[in-house]
């Protein structure tokens, strides 16, 4: 029982009755589908599926009201203009300078400098300065020194969407590089001298190697079919010194269906082990994840072990290519496994190279066939690696989950639009805030306690095992069932270790201070003793807080037939949310887990400043635009 509010930005459900006010906040941009179900005796059920894998069922007593809510939500969940998105109204109370500072946190020129570029072999090219050559590429592109503007432009004309080969990653130890492009317009026999010269230039930029790999990430059949449309793949006979390789990653449509199937399995009510495993297999999801990983591993090996440069492409070079390049970079360079480096990686391989965030994640109402969980798959690849290499990443699972959340939330401007060009036209940086600054501010929550910069796992290339290690790939319940808290380990090792680490550090610092004091006040022993006892007290407190077992000891339902759907809805998780997280207050400020009234920056605070009446923290009917219609309902 409770009250449902629809505001300009959120669906808010406030539960009545309980002593502690329980609120569920859902951003409109997170809504993936709304389904009206058959009316029952208690009312009309409305099923809302979210892009962050939350599923909410509302039962509305009156059919009429239900329909109104349904119609309103459909409109609210499908904005048609960028200006309707949350990031344009979201105000985290930062001043202009702080906002600009936030956008400067990730600087790609700095990143290429870090790689050691420009150098003797690579340079920055301004050939695309007004997006004149390729409108989905960034203005600043890194190319081999020997590739003249003529070669670049010529090559771009021979590539799908004019996405010519450009540098993604450079390994300064052995000069091997990873470049990316779209497919060549080769059809059955077409050639392009400039494109051939372009690939030569890439090879020459790595003097230690006499060939390059060209990796087509598509299944061979798909690539061959493309030839009929005048596209296709490189003919080894036409390009000197290339080794051509297919890696069969399926296209966005297959991936969309695969996720759909897997989510259906996640939604099953009390599935048997067989139902689950069979459904998981049938969805093909883990097979696809493994295909992406294998491609990344292949490229990382070529670069690190063979010292050979690689050119990667798929069809347009903005989905599979982005996945594979970023997985390979992550394996190759420990920097990308740090928090800051990971932000840089996403900014480099996804944002700047024109991954179509708007189309893929359905930020604006568009063609549903364009939607596909491309970056979700990359994020899962990272998680799978974290499971295999627990000490290798500076960040934890929560970091990945929050990034996934914000790719869909449209709360920050980073992932808006389909290209850098569109973002500049919209003046995103002047009108919205950067997610990276927000995450960086709360970085304490995202730390992996097992990470140590001097640990062997944080050095050099990660050597993940390739086939036949199927068993390494596991279902990620922390992501796809993340709102069903009952399914997860009920005790968080990460949080506990973080607390232990923090405490150790504190104690060490204290010890140091005390040591100094001891030296100074050797005569007055009394004083010193007092401090020591204080120190002990503190450590006792920690023990207490971590051994709070209320979470672990929450009973479950074990007789299958008793479990009905609503009992598995996220609201169940809320109660359990209260314990065990040690730095709860800190966490909440950054936790996009909207099921637990935790999203302060997107929540009450913001609404109160939008509400003209000012005082109340609840949204009210007169909050502005048409779409702001608020519906008050007893549910």
Of 483, 591, 599, the closest CA to residue 54 belongs to: 483
Confirm or reject binding of residue 449 to other proteins (CB under 8 A): yes
Confirm or reject binding of residue 473 to other proteins (CB under 8 A): yes
Confirm or reject binding of residue 562 to other proteins (CB under 8 A): no
What CA–CA distance (Å, rounded) separates 570 from 82?
30
What CA–CA distance (Å, rounded) separates 360 from 375?
9
Between 238 and 554, whose beta carbon lies closer to other proteins? 554
Residues in the chain: 635
* Cβ neighbours of 482 (radius 10 Å): 22
Binding track, positions 476-515, relative to other proteins; x by CB under 8 A: -x---x--x-xxxxxx-x--xx--xx-xx--x--------
Instruction: Give the angle subtended at the CA of 20 by the CAs of 18 and 25, to the nearest 5°.
Output: 95
Minimum CB separation of residue 32 from other proteins in Å reads 20
- Kindly state the tokens that stand for 99: 């906002």
Between 111 and 445, whose beta carbon lies closer to other proteins? 445
Handedness of CA 457, 397, 383, 602 (dihedral sign): negative
What CA–CA distance (Å, rounded) separates 374 from 415?
13
Of 418, 430, 429, the closest CA to residue 131 belongs to: 418
- Point out which span in 68-76, 313-321, 340-348, 462-470 binds other proteins (CB under 8 A): 462-470
Please indicate whether residue 266 is annotated as part of the active site.
no
Q: Which of 171, 314, 325, 410 is catalytic?
A: 314
Binding track, positions 515-554, relative to other proteins; x by CB under 8 A: --------------------xx--xx--x--xx-x--xxx
Binding to other proteins, residues 355-414 (CB under 8 A): 388-392
- Point out which span in 160-168, 213-221, 281-289, 364-372 binds other proteins (CB under 8 A): 281-289
- Point out which span in 56-64, 255-263, 284-292, 416-424 binds other proteins (CB under 8 A): 284-292
Kindly list the distances between the CA atom of residue 599 and the CA atoms of 10, 308, 585, in Å, as whole numbers in the listed order. 11, 47, 11
Between 253 and 455, whose beta carbon lies closer to other proteins? 455
Binding track, positions 243-272, relative to other proteins; x by CB under 8 A: -----------------------x---xxx
What CA–CA distance (Å, rounded) separates 35 from 262?
19
* Cβ neighbours of 280 (radius 10 Å): 18
Confirm or reject binding of residue 221 to other proteins (CB under 8 A): no
- Kindly state the tokens that stand for 618: 């609840």
What CA–CA distance (Å, rounded) separates 151 from 157?
10
Minimum CB separation of residue 492 from other proteins in Å reads 8
Confirm or reject binding of residue 124 to other proteins (CB under 8 A): no
Among 137, 383, 408, 475, binds other proteins (CB under 8 A): 475
Of 253, 245, 241, the closest CA to residue 212 belongs to: 241
Strand partners for 45: 59
End-to-end CA distance of the chain: 5
Confirm or reject binding of residue 555 to other proteins (CB under 8 A): yes
Contact 209, 176 (CB under 8 A): yes
Minimum CB separation of residue 480 from other proteins in Å reads 8
Confirm or reject binding of residue 305 to other proteins (CB under 8 A): no
What CA–CA distance (Å, rounded) separates 305 from 326?
18
Minimum CB separation of residue 606 from other proteins in Å reads 34
Binding to other proteins, residues 28-87 (CB under 8 A): none
Among 63, 98, 101, 278, binds other proteins (CB under 8 A): 278
Burial of 401 (0-12, 13-18, 19+ CB in 10 A): buried
Annotated binding site for substrate: 251-252, 314-320
Of 341, 316, 535, 547, the closest CA to residue 419 belongs to: 316
Between 100 and 510, whose beta carbon lies closer to other proteins? 510
The size of the interface with other proteins (CB under 8 A), counted in residues, is: 69
What CA–CA distance (Å, rounded) separates 26 from 450?
33
Cite the active site residues.
Answer: 314
Q: Which residues bind other proteins (CB under 8 A)?
A: 266, 270-278, 280-281, 284, 286-287, 290, 388-392, 449-450, 452, 455-457, 465, 467-475, 477, 481, 484, 486-491, 493, 496-497, 500-501, 503-504, 507, 535-536, 539-540, 543, 546-547, 549, 552-556, 558-559
């Amino acid at each position: 029982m409770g009250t449902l509010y629809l505001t300009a930005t959120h669906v808010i459900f406030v539960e009545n009755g309980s002593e502690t006010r329980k609120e569920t906040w859902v951003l409109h941009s997170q809504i993936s589908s709304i389904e009206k179900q058959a009316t029952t005796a208690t009312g009309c059920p409305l099923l809302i599926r979210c892009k962050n894998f939350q599923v909410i069922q509302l039962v509305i007593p009156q059919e009429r009201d239900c329909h109104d809510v349904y119609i309103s939500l459909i409109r609210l969940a499908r904005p048609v203009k960028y200006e309707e998105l949350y990031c344009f109204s979201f105000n985290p109370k930062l001043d202009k300078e702080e906002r600009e500072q936030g956008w400067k946190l990730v600087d790609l020129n700095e990143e290429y400098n870090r790689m050691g570029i420009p150098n003797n072999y690579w340079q920055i090219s301004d050939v695309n300065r007004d997006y004149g050559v390729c409108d989905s590429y960034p203005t600043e592109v890194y190319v081999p020194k020997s590739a003249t503007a003529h070669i670049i432009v010529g090559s771009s004309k021979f590539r799908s969407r004019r996405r010519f080969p450009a540098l993604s990653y450079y390994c300064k130890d052995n000069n091997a590089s990873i470049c990316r492009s779209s497919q060549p317009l080769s059809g059955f026999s077409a050639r392009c001298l400039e494109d051939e010269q372009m690939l030569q230039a890439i090879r020459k930029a790595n003097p230690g190697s006499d060939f390059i790999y060209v990796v087509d990430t598509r299944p061979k059949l798909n690539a061959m079919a493309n030839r009929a449309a005048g596209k296709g793949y490189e003919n080894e006979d036409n390009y000197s010194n290339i080794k051509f390789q297919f890696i069969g990653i399926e296209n966005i449509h297959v991936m969309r269906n695969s996720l759909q199937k897997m989510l259906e399995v996640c939604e099953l009510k009390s599935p048997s082990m067989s139902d689950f495993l069979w459904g998981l297999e049938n969805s093909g999801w883990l097979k696809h994840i493994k295909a992406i990983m294998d491609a990344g591993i292949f490229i990382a090996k070529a670069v690190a072990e063979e010292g050979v440069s690689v050119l990667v492409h798929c069809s347009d070079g903005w989905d599979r290519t982005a996945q594979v390049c970023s997985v390979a970079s992550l394996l190759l360079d420990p920097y990308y496994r740090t928090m800051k480096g990971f932000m840089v990686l996403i900014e480099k391989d996804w944002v700047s190279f024109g991954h179509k965030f708007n189309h893929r994640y359905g930020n604006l109402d568009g063609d549903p066939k364009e939607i596909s969980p491309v970056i979700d798959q990359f994020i899962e690849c990272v998680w799978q690696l974290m499971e295999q290499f627990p000490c290798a990443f500076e960040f934890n699972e929560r970091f990945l989950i929050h990034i996934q959340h914000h790719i869909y939330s449209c709360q920050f401007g980073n992932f808006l639009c389909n290209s850098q060009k569109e973002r500049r036209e919209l003046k995103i940086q002047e009108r919205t805030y950067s997610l990276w600054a927000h995450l960086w501010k709360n970085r304490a929550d995202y730390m992996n306690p097992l990470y140590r910069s001097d640990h062997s796992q944080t050095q050099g290339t990660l050597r993940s095992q390739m086939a036949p290690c199927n068993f390494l790939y596991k279902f990620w319940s922390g992501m796809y069932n993340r709102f069903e808290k009952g399914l997860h380990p009920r005790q968080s090792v990460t949080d506990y270790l973080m607390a232990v680490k923090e405490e150790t550090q504190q104690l060490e610092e204290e010890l140091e201070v005390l040591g100094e004091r001891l030296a100074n006040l050797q005569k007055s022993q009394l004083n010193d003793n007092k401090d020591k006892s204080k120190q002990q007290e503190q450590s006792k407190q920690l023990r207490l807080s971590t051994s709070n077992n209320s979470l672990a000891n929450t009973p479950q339902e074990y007789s299958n037939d008793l479990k009905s759907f609503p009992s598995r809805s996220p609201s169940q998780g809320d109660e359990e949310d209260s314990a065990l997280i040690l730095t709860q207050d800190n966490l909440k400020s950054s936790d996009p887990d909207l099921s637990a009234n935790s999203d302060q920056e997107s929540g009450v605070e913001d609404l109160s400043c939008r509400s003209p009446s000012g005082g109340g923290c609840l949204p009210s009917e007169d909050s502005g635009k048409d779409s702001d219609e608020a519906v008050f309902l007893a549910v």
